[in-house]
Amino acid sequence: MALWGGRFSDGPAQTVFALSRSVHFDFRLAPYDLRSSLAHLDVLESSGLLDKQVSSQIRSGLRELISEVAKGEFTPKPEDEDVHSALERGLMEKLGEVGGSLRAGRSRNDQVATDLKLYAVDQMLHLASLVTELQSALLSKATEYKDAPAPGFTHLQHAQPILFGHELAKHVHALSRDLDRIADWLKRTKVSPLGSGALSGSSLPLAPEKTASALGFSSNSANSIDGVSDRDFVAEALFITSLIGVHLSRIGEEWCIWATTEFGWAKVADAYSTGSSIMPQKKNPDMAELARGKAGRLIGNLTGVLTMLKGLPFAYNRDLQEDKEPLFDSFDTLFLVIPAVAGMVATTEFDREKMLAAAPMGFSLATEIADFLVRAHIPFSQAHEAAGKCVAQCEKLGIALHELSDDQLISIHPALTSDVRKVLTVDGALASRTTRGGTSPSSLEVQLKDLKVELSQNTTKFTAESKAFSGMMGA
């Protein structure tokens, strides 16, 4: 059913309708559209524009539609253009012409912006809960391996020993920043566009502040043109989902490396691996690879929407219809990826012996020599030079740093006494990194404790937000 046509002598050409039609993807906004219609109905009624009897008829019609949509009993028809026209058809099928009364004081322009915001808030809260689940899987693994030494890398070359729990815990921090971004996004997004009308507000005595608060927003748009045209919340949501995708991708890349035969650190559980159709011996970390690969698609969705918005004149233009599929796709993608990655993380076992054996390889204790000299008040430039010479000597002789003789040490630098051997152990190097955020067992203990507290606070915060949102939707 068309929502316009009075001034036209002919309906749209088939090609025009085909290009315009969005109901096949935007029908998923139906629950939010119906909820915001209920809020709009309330202000139409309280402002005296609809009498009680009509509004209660419409209210029951909307409630019936809410339940029919939830059960899949009401679906779009081929002639419906978008979610708004499909639902108005539904209402008019039930109530006749009275069903058309809801359109007063409202345009699809403020309606679609409101629906999309409600959808985005709902999905973002679900995303936050999935992120906390992944954090919890990473935090458990980090705790399990908090005493397992491993080599740490820079440039993918052995750098300095670290505790493997420290290595895993770093991902929890990145995801915590994502949760902060979500919380911050929620604050900015909770401004209701409803009441902005087509672009200039409404001449009817409506109360957009009231509909805003009924829908869980903290205020309504202070500028109606901005209200209908603002898609910052879409772009920002797509940035947040992209960055989460990038974080997942980096987790995926590490898992791929650690699971190689060359590393042999990670044993990915069978349930989270896949086989090869031709090579019977293969066990591939496909979940890690998909986590890595999906980041490209998420970033693509962000750049697509930013490009669509760039240079768009105000207020509403039909280009804005292109904001939905990328947003839907980014949420859908993460809803698939995060649980699989969380499961993969939770079920992967790491080879402590291999990691321990690799920890001192590649002269990863050379910094300890330099720090030893610094403690003897040798300027770092000299200390660095001397430690480098130790490495060069060892490479020439094919020995490890702690195997240099006393004479060899003294000849490299007079302050290099045999005591230096005491710091040339993985445990010694780890234990000495006691600064906040360092890899020592004591610092890691504090870090893990803080992360647990933060995770539980975030879980409580987002669960409460979700409850409030579901309450609003069910009202």
d(CA 451, CA 1) in angstroms, rounded, equals 54
d(CA 374, CA 383) in angstroms, rounded, equals 7
Residues 6+ apart with CB under 8 A from 418: 406, 409
**Least Cβ distance, residue 101 to ligand ARG (angstroms):** 19
Out of 321, 408, 463, 466, the residue judged to bind ligand ARG by CB under 6 A: 321
Binding residues among 41-100 for ligand ARG as defined by CB under 6 A:
82
| Cα dihedral: 422, 424, 428, 434 (round 10) | 110
Which position among 9, 155, 203, 377 bears the catalytic label? 155
Q: Between 316 and 363, whose beta carbon lies closer to ligand ARG?
A: 316
Out of 36, 57, 109, 192, the residue judged to bind ligand ARG by CB under 6 A: 109
- Binding segment for ligand ARG (CB under 6 A), chosen from 153-161, 238-246, 269-277, 316-324, is 316-324
**Least Cβ distance, residue 318 to ligand ARG (angstroms):** 6
Q: Between 29 and 369, whose beta carbon lies closer to ligand ARG?
A: 29
Out of 234, 320, 338, 359, the residue judged to bind ligand ARG by CB under 6 A: 320
**Least Cβ distance, residue 26 to ligand ARG (angstroms):** 6
Amino acid making up residue 285: P
- Binding segment for ligand ARG (CB under 6 A), chosen from 97-105, 108-116, 152-160, 460-468, is 108-116
Residues 6+ apart with CB under 8 A from 461: 183
d(CA 201, CA 109) in angstroms, rounded, equals 11
Q: Between 140 and 317, whose beta carbon lies closer to ligand ARG?
A: 317
316 touches ligand ARG by CB under 6 A: yes
Q: Between 146 and 231, whose beta carbon lies closer to ligand ARG?
A: 231
Q: Between 233 and 350, whose beta carbon lies closer to ligand ARG?
A: 233
Measuring CA to CA, which residue among 323, 324, 321 is closest to residue 306?
A: 323
Q: Between 284 and 321, whose beta carbon lies closer to ligand ARG?
A: 321
27 touches ligand ARG by CB under 6 A: no
C-beta separation of 135 from 450 below 8 A: no
30 touches ligand ARG by CB under 6 A: no
Out of 40, 89, 106, 108, the residue judged to bind ligand ARG by CB under 6 A: 108
Binding residues among 334-373 for ligand ARG as defined by CB under 6 A:
none
Q: Between 109 and 330, whose beta carbon lies closer to ligand ARG?
A: 109
The answer to whether 84 is a known catalytic residue is: no
Which position among 20, 276, 411, 418 bears the catalytic label? 276
Q: Between 211 and 229, whose beta carbon lies closer to ligand ARG?
A: 229
- Binding segment for ligand ARG (CB under 6 A), chosen from 104-112, 157-165, 353-361, 386-394, is 104-112
**Least Cβ distance, residue 20 to ligand ARG (angstroms):** 8
d(CA 316, CA 118) in angstroms, rounded, equals 19
- Binding segment for ligand ARG (CB under 6 A), chosen from 53-61, 97-105, 180-188, 314-322, is 314-322
Q: Between 108 and 294, whose beta carbon lies closer to ligand ARG?
A: 108
- Binding segment for ligand ARG (CB under 6 A), chosen from 53-61, 105-113, 268-276, 283-291, is 105-113
C-beta separation of 93 from 190 below 8 A: no
Binding residues among 251-280 for ligand ARG as defined by CB under 6 A:
none
| 460 half-sphere exposure, CB direction, 13 A CA radius | 6
Binding residues among 111-170 for ligand ARG as defined by CB under 6 A:
112
The answer to whether 224 is a known catalytic residue is: no
**Least Cβ distance, residue 6 to ligand ARG (angstroms):** 15
Number of residues that bind ligand ARG (CB under 6 A): 10
Catalytic residue set: 155, 276
Per CB under 6 A, residues contacting ligand ARG are: 22, 26, 82, 108-109, 112, 316, 318, 320-321
